[in-house]
Structure 1
Amino acid sequence: MKLFERTDLRLTKRVAWIDIAKAIGIILVVINHAYPLKDTFYKTTYWWHMPLFFLIGGFFLKSLHQKDERFSVFLKTKVWPLLRDYLIAGSLVILANFIIEGQSFSYLLNYFLKLLYGGDILTGYTSVFWFVSVYILALMAVTIIITYIPWRWLQFGLVTGLFILGTAYKSAESTLGRPLPWNADVALMAIFYMWIGQFSFKYLKRVLKQRLFLGVTLSLATFFIALQGLGAIDQTIYMKSHNITNGWFAMIVPLVCCFAALALAYWLQFTGVHATLELIGQHTMAIMFAHKALFFLLKKGDFQTWAVLSAAGIILPLMAVIFGQWVKAYYADRQYQKLIFNY
């Protein structure tokens, strides 16, 4: 009984529509990594499913002055957990690859060095790990900006300028000869999306309740997707590889699509699928870390269908996390009972 009580207590502190929006994002990430075609669906979901995570990442960011918190505390409580998970999950995936593929120790060492360098040089099992390093850089940058620049208009000007700079060239590799550590150039885009999330959150909480907002944002997003499907435009936004067709399009259209996804998520919380989507949204990082490695293992077993791969890439990490939480809660209860008994 204690397990369910703790779970309920934890869930009451979350915002349902945010978890649902994260679920929508991670489901599309997994599908796109399994999907075999580079069609309109593929290209247009890439416009916004990663910007959505950066946008949501800004929702609860506060000025360090407002929180009366030192930057060192921020690093310890906000940055270090992300970095720790990045290193642990990355190491586990690399070790799994080493064992399953029978790789050499030089390969193992080289891949660990790649994990430390991060960014665009990560491929295969670890290709999705670029997101965490970029997220960390954006998190730190936006926190510094909202802490030490008191004027909103100047903050907006700065993050917009960084975005324009970050999309003004083909890629760091083509410009500088090699990718930047942790995809630092891609972080210039993420900073903009995350700041927009931080700024807009208090307004979103009001407008998401209005059906007009849902209708307008979905209509605009559908309009741009239809233009892409009809061939009137041909826009790509692949953040990791820095493949951006048009910087202004990448600034505006992903936000329209993200707001449409958030509005849809708000109304989905009143439907029968809300509990499943909330559960998925609470464990997006585990799914992000694990799904590509699972794809590789499943393909070895001759599971090639993208729908099967997508379902497994979501369900199996989710089951592993839930089982881990159950085991942790079970042993916590056992320890509690021992203390009571001894007392």
Structure 2
Amino acid sequence: MDVLRIVSIVAVVAGHSWGPRLLGGEYLEIWRMPLFFFLTGYFWTRGRSVGHEFQARWRTLAVPYLIWAVIMSVAAWAWTRDTPGEFWPLMANGWYGGSDQTPPWWAFWFISVLFFVTVLRRILERFPVGVAWGVAVLGLVLSMLPDSLLGRTPLGIGLALPCLFFVLAGELFKYSIQPRIRRNRALIGAVCVAVGLLAVALGVEPLNIKFSGFGDFLLTPVVGALTAAGFVLIFGTVVDRLVRGAARPVNALVRTGTVVVLFHGWLLQTLVDLGILADGAKFLLTVLISWAVGLALNATPLSPWLSGVPAPQWWVRWRGRHQARRDERPASS
């Protein structure tokens, strides 16, 4: 399942590297972003308090978002030194969030929406599940309003409503559907993915969640959730057996996900400014450099602030020994 998370992040970078030039991009869009939210529901732990959820998501999502936003503000200033009139509009869009974010804040919207949708799901957990589904369907209805209205709410908070659909779908699949699939999970998963891609080939409109594009009402989200479920079945069986011995490096790469999402927009634009225009080269360099930066940061005490993951063990042990020595000094004196 960690490998699936890596694939989903790579798919995001691929979409931004090629943009509308990506051949068959519609087959990527049908599952690329829904998969993130689907997996959030799939790994959902029921019964936690709203306060606990808020604190956990604040630490793992909001804090890195805010710190990287400051870093990107410096990048925006550097980019616009020769055209200072462009600085404040760029800053306004970057900090406002949502669909109007451009490089270097390109994919920030996803982190803020993920924060809001998880807190929303936790709040709605105290009500019958039908209430949560009703809110999600209402969000899909509102997503049909013109001019990407939900995407243009502050920090994209409005997108939490329709994105809740995928979180609930992942939760439903994990607790109610997957346990009933006792045999041939990989085969059934492949069929689900094939059906999802075939639906796109037959004309089902793909998703463009950042701009409040949820395609054909209910049909596109269902196809997206079905495709995501298919990938979960495949990666939870066949791929799991293939990579079981590589759990540690795979987990290390997964822990860099927030850094890759928040950093790669700046990196892509920087590569373009350096004259690297070939889409394949941009993609490969962005993936390699972003993950290298993430791994480097996660090996330092900055990891809780920039990656949203716990500090490395060497730092925890060093602090523990340092604190122990400080505690011993008064006693020895």
Compared CA separation, residues 238 and 228, structure 1 to 2 (3 A): same
Q: What corresponds to 1:90 in structure 2?
A: 69
Q: What does residue range 187-198 of structure 1 map to in structure 2 within 5 Å?
A: 187-198=160-171
Aligned to 1:215: 187
The answer to whether the aligner puts 1:169 opposite 2:145 as a matched pair is yes
Task: Tell me the distance in 2 between the aligned counterparts of 1:77 and 1:34.
Answer: 31
Normalised by the size of structure 1, how large is the TM-score?
0.79
Identity %: 14
**Residue 240 of structure 2 is aligned with which of 269, 293, 311?**
269
| Alpha-carbon distance in 2 for matches of 1:325, 1:36 | 29
Alignment match of 1:252 (pick from 206, 214, 222): 222
Note if 1:41 corresponds to 2:17. Answer: no
Q: Is the 8 A contact 1:40 1:225 kept in 2?
A: no
Equivalent residue for 2:9, pick from 21, 26, 34: 26
**Secondary structure at the counterpart of residue 198 of structure 1:** helix
Whether the 8 Å contact between 1:23 and 1:280 is mirrored in structure 2 is yes
Residues 1:79 and 2:58 are matched in the alignment: yes
Q: Distance in 2 between matches of 1:32 and 1:88?
A: 25
**Of the two structures, which has the highest relative contact order with CA contacts closer than 8 Å and spacing of 6 or more?**
1
Cα deviation for residue 28 of structure 1 reads 0.6
CA positional deviation for 1:115? 3.4
2:164 and 2:199 map into 1 onto residues whose CA distance is 28
Q: Structure 2 length normalisation: TM-score? A: 0.81
Alignment of 1:296-335 (within 5 A): 296-328=269-301, 329=312, 330-335=314-319
How well do the aligned residues superpose, as a CA RMSD in angstroms?
3.0
Q: Do residues 152 (structure 1) and 129 (structure 2) align?
A: yes
Unaligned runs of 5+ in 1: 1-16
How much does 1:256 deviate? 1.0
Query: Alpha-carbon deviations, 1:239-258, whole Å to 9, x = none?
Result: 01123431122221001110
Checking the alignment, whether the CA contact within 8 Å between 2:206 and 2:215 is kept in structure 1 is yes
The structure 2 residue matched to 1:136, chosen from 115, 129, 136, is 115
Instruction: Give me the whole-angstrom Cα distance separating, in 2, the residues matched to 1:220 and 1:233.
Output: 17
In the alignment, the residues of structure 2 paired with residue 272 and residue 59 of structure 1 have an alpha-carbon distance, to the nearest angstrom, of: 20
Q: Cα–Cα, structure 1 residues 105 and 263, in superposed 2: closer, same or farther, change >3 Å?
A: same
Structure 2 stretches lacking a partner, 5+ long: 302-311, 329-333
Q: Per-residue CA shift, 1:124-168, capped at 9, x if unaligned?
A: 221211112211221121111112x1x334443x14432442343
